[in-house]
């Protein structure tokens, strides 16, 4: 195999010359997206039309996405909305793809094969190998795209798993040196710490954990510091997890599969996380179709999943990615990891949120306190986690247990963990809707 990556180097201008009208381009997820390519893409807007670009959890406000003057040139689709996508959704050239993480690449490949796949990887090593920080769908795209253009960056950590690319697998390389985009390690609030205090006693030593992004998972992670031999089987590897490994709480010794290894399908966090990952063979970044397949997750006993939601109805349906019909984020691995945990022997899945939101009125911009536990989901809400799959729901007022519980039992438990100001109204509505008996 030819290890000489220098033969494949091109400039950003040469890369952009490869793009034609109506091409379908896929870029990597979050910190694996091709930043340089996207920063320059708007420069070809006057010579192309209808170039469709698929992104997921994009990290920057690229000109080609946010400037309405490029609407004819580019069509956008995303599997996970960010503030940028929420802002441009109404532009007419932006759309959302409903999707479970573990079938992301399978769905995409069956429906539409990319003309160009572009992403960023670590700098080639002496054997000509580079690594992705995400293998959610990137390896699958690389294998089928007509043209593969990768950005190589010395600032990206060298990682291991089913995320290795050899220079001979790639058509072109562009040398770049931007910093790895970071996800902040959010400082938990009082409410986050309260929620964590209910969850931590339920997590046994030796459990395998999945933690989502945000303040509450971070609060839970802090509380896990005194646990023993925890393991990691997660979609996203976070800064909190790196801290727990360094502190000795996570060893992976009790895992049934990938014993002693920390398994994820992408890693997204702070510089502390990226430094920890660099040349660290204990962390495996494997393909999303394997890692977050619920049947595979379930192979570990005591699998724990912790995810957040926006709105829950009194029967336990979780609208985690939309506010009514307005797309907010995406399903990501929420349903996959919750189902996997539920199938695992002695597994547990937690849905966490603050009982209220200080919601902004879309018309007036005024803020008012609303309950996130509601009698019925607002019209058009996307149910990310079905009531049949939901297990434990947690607010700062306690835990509501859903599995095996009747609708009436669910209502009573959920009302008990709603904010006290809303409990009476929720009870009245539950009776009116026939969810609870009249007396
Ligand atoms: N009604 C109206 N507004 C609401 C609301 C509700 N029920 N719930 C939240 N909001 C508002 C908040 O007030 C806040 O607005 P602001 O930014 O103007 O203050 C905003 O929505 C974000 O709420 P917050 O609870 O802070 O969201 P978050 O950043 O912690 O993210 C999820 C929570 C649920 C959106 C996020 O975890 C998610 O997308 N989950 C689904 C996917 C998933 O879990 N995947 C697993 C990991 S891949």
Contact 297, 391 (CB under 8 A): no
Q: Give the tokens for residue 85.
A: 């996508």
Active site residue 202: no
Give 42's contacts (C-beta < 8 A, 6+ positions apart). Answer: 62, 63, 64, 67, 70, 73
Asked if residue 309 has its Cβ within 6 Å of ligand 1, the reply is: yes
Helices (H), 28-129: 35-40, 63-66, 83-88, 104-111
Residue 3 half-sphere exposure toward CB, CA atoms < 13 A: 8
Mean pLDDT of 342-354: 98
Rg of the Cα atoms in the chain: 22
Give 45's contacts (C-beta < 8 A, 6+ positions apart). Answer: 64, 69, 70, 72, 73, 74
Question: For residue 67, is pLDDT > 80?
Answer: yes
Backbone angle region of 258, left / alpha / beta, with phi > 0 → left and psi within -120 to 50 → alpha: left
pLDDT at residue 4 in the model = 85
pLDDT at residue 178 in the model = 98
pLDDT at residue 331 in the model = 95
Give the alpha-carbon dihedral of 404, 410, 414, 416, to 10 degrees.
Answer: -100
Q: Residue 24 has what DSSP assignment? A: E
pLDDT at residue 361 in the model = 84
DSSP E strand stretches across 124-171: 129-131, 147-153, 164-166
* 98: β partners: none
* 286: β partners: none
pLDDT at residue 131 in the model = 98
Mean pLDDT of 329-340: 96
Rounded Cα gap, residues 197 and 207, in angstroms:
17
Cα(96) to ligand 1 centroid in Å equals: 17
pTM of the prediction?
0.96
Angle at 116 between CA 110 and CA 122, to 5 degrees: 110
Query: 10-39 b/e with 16+ CB inside 10 Å = b?
Result: bebeebbebbeeebbbbbbbbbbbbbbbbb
Give 98's contacts (C-beta < 8 A, 6+ positions apart). Answer: 331, 382
pLDDT at residue 1 in the model = 72
Cα(369) to ligand 1 centroid in Å equals: 15
Angle of helix 215-223 relative to helix 239-247, nearest 10 degrees, comes to 10
Cα(310) to ligand 1 centroid in Å equals: 5
DSSP helix/strand/coil, 76: strand
Question: For residue 360, is pLDDT > 90?
Answer: no
Give 206's contacts (C-beta < 8 A, 6+ positions apart). Answer: 228, 229, 230, 231, 253, 254, 302
pLDDT at residue 362 in the model = 77
pLDDT at residue 225 in the model = 96
pLDDT at residue 293 in the model = 98
Q: Which of 359, 379, 380, 396 to mutate to test the pocket of ligand 1 (most atoms within 8 A of CB)?
A: 359
Mean pLDDT of 386-415: 98
Mean pLDDT of 180-208: 96
Question: For residue 199, is pLDDT > 80?
Answer: yes
pLDDT at residue 439 in the model = 74
Question: Residue 110 — very low, low, confident or very high, per pLDDT cuts 50/70/90?
Answer: confident
Asked if residue 320 has its Cβ within 6 Å of ligand 1, the reply is: yes
Residue 101 alpha carbon, nearest atom of ligand 1: 48
Question: For residue 73, is pLDDT > 80?
Answer: yes
**210-258 confidence digits (pLDDT tens):** 998 778 888 999 999 999 999 999 999 999 999 999 999 999 999 999 9
pLDDT at residue 265 in the model = 98
Give 185's contacts (C-beta < 8 A, 6+ positions apart). Answer: 218, 238, 239, 240, 269, 270, 272
Rounded Cα gap, residues 220 and 194, in angstroms:
10
pLDDT at residue 218 in the model = 86
- Percent of the chain having pLDDT more than 70? 100
Question: Residue 332 — very low, low, confident or very high, per pLDDT cuts 50/70/90?
Answer: very high
Q: Give the tokens for residue 399.
A: 């835990």
Q: What are phi and psi of 54, to 5 degrees?
A: -105, 125
Q: What are phi and psi of 337, to 5 degrees?
A: -75, -35
Report the chain's mean pLDDT, rounded to a whole number: 96
Q: Give the tokens for residue 333.
A: 């691995």
3-state secondary structure 402-415: CCCCCHHHHHHHHH
**6-57 confidence digits (pLDDT tens):** 999 999 999 999 999 999 999 999 999 999 999 999 999 999 999 999 999 9
Question: For residue 59, is pLDDT > 90?
Answer: yes
Q: Residue 233 has what DSSP assignment? A: B
Q: Which of 85, 297, 310 to mutate to test the pocket of ligand 1 (most atoms within 8 A of CB)?
A: 310
Question: For residue 401, is pLDDT > 80?
Answer: yes
Catalytic residue among 77, 138, 151, 235: 235
Q: Comparing C-alpha atoms, which of 95, 341, 99, 105 is closest to residue 211?
A: 341
pLDDT at residue 257 in the model = 95
**289-319 confidence digits (pLDDT tens):** 999 999 999 999 999 999 999 999 999 999 9
**113-144 confidence digits (pLDDT tens):** 999 999 999 999 999 999 999 999 999 999 99
């Amino acid at each position: 195999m030819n290890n000489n990556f220098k033969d494949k180097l091109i400039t950003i201008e040469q890369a952009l010359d490869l793009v034609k009208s109506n091409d379908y381009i896929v870029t990597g997820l979050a910190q694996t997206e091709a930043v340089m390519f996207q920063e320059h893409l708007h420069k070809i807007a006057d010579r192309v039309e209808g170039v469709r670009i698929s992104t997921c959890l994009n990290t920057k406000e690229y000109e080609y996405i946010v400037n309405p003057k490029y609407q004819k040139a580019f069509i956008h689709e995303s599997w996970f909305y960010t503030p940028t996508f929420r802002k441009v959704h109404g532009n007419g050239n932006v759309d959302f793809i409903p999707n479970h993480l573990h079938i992301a690449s399978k769905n995409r490949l069956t429906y539409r094969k990319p003309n160009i796949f572009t992403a960023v990887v670590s700098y080639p090593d002496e054997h000509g190998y580079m690594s992705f920080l995400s293998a959610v769908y990137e390896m699958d795209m690389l294998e089928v795209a007509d043209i593969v253009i990768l950005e190589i960056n010395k600032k990206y950590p060298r990682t291991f798993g089913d995320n290795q690319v050899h220079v001979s697998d790639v058509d072109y390389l562009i040398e770049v040196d931007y910093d790895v985009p970071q996800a902040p390690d959010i400082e938990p609030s009082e409410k986050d710490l309260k929620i964590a205090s209910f969850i931590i006693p339920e997590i046994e030593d030796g459990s395998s954990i999945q933690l989502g992004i945000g303040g509450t998972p971070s609060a839970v992670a802090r509380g896990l510091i005194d646990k023993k031999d925890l393991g990691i089987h997660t979609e996203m590897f976070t800064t909190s997890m790196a801290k727990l490994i360094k502190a000795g709480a996570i060893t992976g010794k009790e895992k049934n599969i990938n014993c002693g290894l920390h398994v994820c399908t992408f890693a997204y966090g702070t510089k502390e996380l990226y430094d920890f990952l660099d040349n660290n063979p204990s962390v495996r970044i494997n393909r999303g179709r394997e890692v977050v397949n619920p049947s595979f997750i379930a192979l570990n006993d005591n699998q724990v999943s912790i995810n957040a939601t926006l709105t829950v109805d009194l029967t336990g349906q979780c609208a985690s990615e939309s506010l009514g019909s307005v797309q907010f984020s995406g399903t990501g691995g929420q349903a996959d990891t919750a189902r996997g945990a539920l199938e695992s022997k002695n597994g547990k899945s937690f849905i966490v949120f603050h009982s209220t939101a200080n919601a902004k009125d879309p018309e007036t911009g005024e803020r008012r306190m609303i309950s996130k536990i509601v009698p019925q989901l607002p019209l058009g809400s996307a149910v990310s986690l079905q009531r049949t799959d939901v297990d434990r729901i947690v607010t700062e007022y306690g835990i509501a247990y859903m599995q095996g519980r009747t609708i009436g039992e669910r209502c009573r438990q959920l009302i008990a963990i709603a904010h006290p100001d809303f409990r009476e109204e929720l009870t009245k509505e539950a009776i009116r809707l026939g969810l609870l008996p009249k007396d």
